[in-house]
């Protein structure tokens, strides 16, 4: 394990890294561009906690979709070039301040056994193509309003979406993760600042 990173391969988890494809808020497959690809690495402490959810997944005939985990700092820098911090507080202002770049965070949702996402108030990253097209041009007005739906305290979504969001939060917090108020999909280790930034090289 390099830098205590573990590659997630367990079949209970669907690896679908959003920055390895183009349908994300940046509109580019940045992970492919740097040679990283659609792989999910995470600090071994994240991996150990995440595996605690497996009995729940088996019991309820569900899977978990992993849409981001460890993010190479070079990828984070590219994302900041596409959507600069000066335009919106979309990404952490530096890799050092991104828990993804420390391997200590995951962006996730639950799916049915066939890989269909359960209903949530938004897509992960609050992605919608029309907002992505606006954001790339520097127009964040509509998207910032839409982002309110990503908050844990947003209650105007369909009851099923709210129930799924709250179920995910309860499960992830029970196995030792910390949520953040403005992104229902994001979970990180509580003391992530104590973990070093992890550089990555394409060997």
Structure confidence at residue 124 (pLDDT): 95
Q: What is the mean pLDDT of residues 61-78?
A: 97
Under the banding of pLDDT at 50, 70 and 90, the label for residue 140 is: confident
User: Which CATH number does the domain 2-194 belong to among 1.20.1440.120, 3.30.1380.10, 3.30.450.40, 3.40.50.720?
Assistant: 3.30.1380.10
Residue 33 has pLDDT above 70, yes or no: yes
Percent of the chain clearing pLDDT 90 (strictly above):
83
Condensed to tens digits (0 to 9), the pLDDT of residues 43-59 reads: 999 999 999 999 999 99
User: Which is higher by pLDDT, 201 or 58?
Assistant: 58
Sequence-distant (6+) residues with CB within 8 A of 190 are 176, 177, 178
Structure confidence at residue 67 (pLDDT): 98
Sequence-distant (6+) residues with CB within 8 A of 27 are 82, 132, 133, 136
The Cα–Cα gap between 103 and 121 comes to 26
Structure confidence at residue 185 (pLDDT): 98
Structure confidence at residue 153 (pLDDT): 97
Strand partners, 64: 13, 110
Structure confidence at residue 138 (pLDDT): 83
Residue 63 has pLDDT above 80, yes or no: yes
Under the banding of pLDDT at 50, 70 and 90, the label for residue 29 is: very high
- pTM value is 0.94
Condensed to tens digits (0 to 9), the pLDDT of residues 70-127 reads: 999 999 999 999 887 665 667 888 999 999 999 999 999 999 999 999 999 999 999 9
Query: What is the residue extent of each domain of the chain?
Result: 2-194
Mean pLDDT of the chain: 93
Q: What is the mean pLDDT of residues 7-13?
A: 96
Structure confidence at residue 1 (pLDDT): 52
């Amino acid at each position: 394990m390099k830098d205590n990173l573990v590659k997630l391969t367990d079949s209970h988890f669907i690896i679908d890294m959003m920055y390895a494809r183009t349908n994300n808020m940046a509109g580019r497959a940045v992970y492919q561009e740097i040679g990283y690809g659609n792989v999910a690495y995470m600090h071994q402490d994240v991996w150990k906690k995440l595996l605690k959810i497996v009995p729940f997944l088996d019991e309820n005939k569900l899977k978990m979709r992993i849409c981001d985990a460890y993010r190479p700092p070079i990828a984070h820098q590219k994302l900041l070039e596409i959507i600069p911090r000066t335009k919106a507080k979309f990404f952490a202002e530096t890799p050092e301040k991104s828990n993804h770049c420390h391997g200590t965070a995951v962006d996730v949702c639950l799916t049915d056994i066939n890989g269909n996402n359960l209903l949530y108030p938004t897509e992960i990253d609050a992605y919608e193509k029309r907002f992505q097209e606006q954001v790339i041009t520097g127009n964040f007005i509509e998207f910032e309003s839409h982002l309110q739906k990503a908050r844990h305290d947003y209650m105007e979504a369909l009851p099923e979406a709210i129930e799924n969001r709250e179920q995910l939060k309860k499960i992830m917090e029970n196995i030792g993760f910390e949520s953040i108020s403005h992104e229902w999909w994001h979970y990180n280790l509580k003391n992530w600042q104590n973990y070093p930034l992890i550089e990555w090289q394409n060997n």
